[in-house]
Amino acid sequence: MIWSKNETMSREEIEEIQLSRLKETVSYIYERVPAYKKKMDEVGVRPEHIQTLKDLQKLPFNTKEDFRQNYPTGLFAVPKKELVRVHASSGTTGKPTIVGYTRRDLDIWTNNVSRVACMGGATGDDIAQIAFGYGMFTGALGLHAGLENIGATVLPSSSGHTQKQIMYMRDMGTTLLVATPSYALYLGETARNMGLDPQKDLQVKTGLFGGEGMTEPMRAEMHRIWGDSFNCTQNYGLSELCGPGVSGECLELQGMHVNEDFFIPEIINPKTGEVLPPGEKGELVITRLSTQALPLLRYRTKDISALHYEPCKCGRTTCRMENISGRSDDMLIIRGVNVFPTQIEEVLLAINEIGPHYEITVERVNRLDVMTITVELIDDRLLDSYSSLDALRKKIQVKLKSMLGLDAIIKLVAPMSLTRFEGKARRVNDLRKDGL
C-alpha cells in the first residue's frame, strides 16, 4: 500500500513543492532563528537569493555542533510554550541534542512514519509490537504514532525483558515487529532457546527495523529465523530531522525512499563540502521542510550514502538513498544508542584513579552488542587490592550508565600497558563490521 499520493508525483511536481517549501523555510528561519541568520549573513546569503533548488547550495551547513552551541533550544523557531513534545538524542559531549515538535509537526511526522511503515509492508490489520525503548528516543513514539495512524494495533512492549516480549508475541499473535535489527535477531534467538520455532509458533510476518544499520548478512539471518516470506525492511531517520520517517525501504529492497516533499537530500564530499552527483557515495545532508518548531537547513548527518532517482518498481517516484555504509565521524551505535567516544572520555577523565588512556571494544555476542572499555590505572598499587579494584570498576560502570544509558564491561589494566599513538589515537575497535 502506498500511503500518500505525494510518493508517486512526477519529478517536476516533487521539485515544484520542494522549491516553494524551501523558499518558505529559508525566510522562516532567517526571521526566527538568530543563530542561523548570523550564519547566512556571514556568507552574504539572504532569503531572496533562493530562487532555484540549486540555490540550496549557497546556504551554510548545520551540524550537531550547532545544537551544542545553542543548547538546549537555541535553534528552535517557536517559543517553548508552542511545543507539544520534546525528544533528545546523544550529543558529542555530556549534553544531549534536544528536539521539539508543535502539534502540526507531530502530525507531519506521524504521516511520514505511516508512509515508511506502508513501504515495509505494514497494514491496518497488523498487530505491531514496538520493541524500541520508550523515552527520549524518537524511535518508539515515532513508529507507535505512525502505525496507529494506519489502523494497526500497537503493543508498546518497549525494549528489554526479552522472554516477556516473546510471550506477548505468541499470546497476542504479533504480526509486525519494530526493533533495532540486532535486537530482532536476539529476540528470534531467545524464542528458539525457549523451545519455540518462530516460523510455526509465532506469526510475525513483517519487520520494520531501524535506528542502526541492517547489513545483508543480518537480513539473511532474519529470513532464516522468521521465514523466507518475512517482509524484512529497514528505515532511517535521525532525531534532528524529527526521528524515523525520513526514508524507508519498500519491498523491492532497492534503497530507502526519501519523503522528498518534506526532506531534500544531498550528498557531499565530507572533506570539501562539494555536492556530488546522483549515484556517488558521500555524506548525506538533509534539509527539513515545512517544520514549525525545528526547521533545519543542510544538516550534515555524517551518514554515508548515495542517491538514486530512477522510479522504483513499487510505483513510488521518490528518490532512494542507499543503505548507510558508514559514518564520516566516530559515532558508534551500540544497541541502538548513539555513543560518541568523547562522551566516554569525559566520564573517564573525571575519575582520579585512572589515566587518560583507554580503548573501547565493541563486539556482537549472542546477537547483542557488548562494549568493553579497557582503562589504565594511574597507580599500579591499586592492582594489589581486589576490593578497591572492584569498587573502582563499579564506579566507572555506574557513571557510564548514567551518561549513556548503557552497560559496559570495564577492564582495569596497569599503567603504561595500552598502546601509545604518535598520530591520531585509535581508541575504538569495532569488531562488528562483518555483518552479524
Applying CB under 6 A, which residues contact ligand DLL? 89, 138-139, 210-213, 234-239, 243-244, 301, 303, 324, 327, 333, 338
Residue 278 has which C-alpha cell?
546522483
Smallest distance from ligand DLL to CB 326, Å: 9
Q: Pick the closer one to ligand DLL by CB: 188 or 248.
A: 248
Q: What one-character-per-residue DSSP string does 265-322 give?
A: EEEE-TTT-PBPPTT--EEEEEEE-S-SS--EEEEEEEEEE-EE-SPPTTS--S-EEP
The DSSP letter of residue 147 is: H
Smallest distance from ligand DLL to CB 210, Å: 3
Smallest distance from ligand DLL to CB 131, Å: 11
Smallest distance from ligand DLL to CB 150, Å: 16
Q: Is the peptide bond before 72 cis (omega within 30 degrees of 0)?
A: yes
Q: Pick the closer one to ligand DLL by CB: 205 or 327.
A: 327
Q: Pick the closer one to ligand DLL by CB: 139 or 341.
A: 139
Smallest distance from ligand DLL to CB 234, Å: 4
Contacts 24+ apart (CB under 8 A), 328-331: 328/270, 328/283, 328/302, 328/303, 328/304, 329/302, 330/428, 331/90, 331/302
Q: Pick the closer one to ligand DLL by CB: 40 or 120.
A: 120
CA distance 5 to 111: 12
CA distance 142 to 105: 12
Smallest distance from ligand DLL to CB 379, Å: 38
* Packing angle, helices 162-172 and 181-193, rounded to 10: 80
Say which residues have a Cβ less than 8 Å from residue 239's Cβ, sequence separation at least 6: 87, 88, 89, 97, 99, 138
Q: Pick the closer one to ligand DLL by CB: 122 or 238.
A: 238
Q: Pick the closer one to ligand DLL by CB: 133 or 198.
A: 133
What residue has cell string 529470513? 223
Phi, psi of 254 (to 5 degrees): -115, 40
Q: Pick the closer one to ligand DLL by CB: 91 or 396.
A: 91
CA distance 51 to 64: 28
Q: Pick the closer one to ligand DLL by CB: 260 or 303.
A: 303
Q: Is the Cβ–Cβ distance between 406 and 339 less than 8 Å? A: yes
Q: Pick the closer one to ligand DLL by CB: 174 or 234.
A: 234
Burial per residue of 390-399, b for 16 or more beta-carbon CB atoms within 10 angstroms, e otherwise: eebeeebeeb
Smallest distance from ligand DLL to CB 123, Å: 19
Q: Pick the closer one to ligand DLL by CB: 17 or 88.
A: 88
Smallest distance from ligand DLL to CB 383, Å: 38
Give residue number: closest CB to ligand DLL: 210
Neighbours of 328 (CB within 10 A): 17
Q: How far is CA 299 from CA 57, 162, 249, 267, 387, in A?
A: 12, 36, 22, 11, 48
Which amino acid would we find at residue 60?
P
Smallest distance from ligand DLL to CB 245, Å: 8
Neighbours of 286 (CB within 10 A): 26
Say which residues have a Cβ less than 8 Å from residue 167's Cβ, sequence separation at least 6: none
Smallest distance from ligand DLL to CB 75, Å: 15
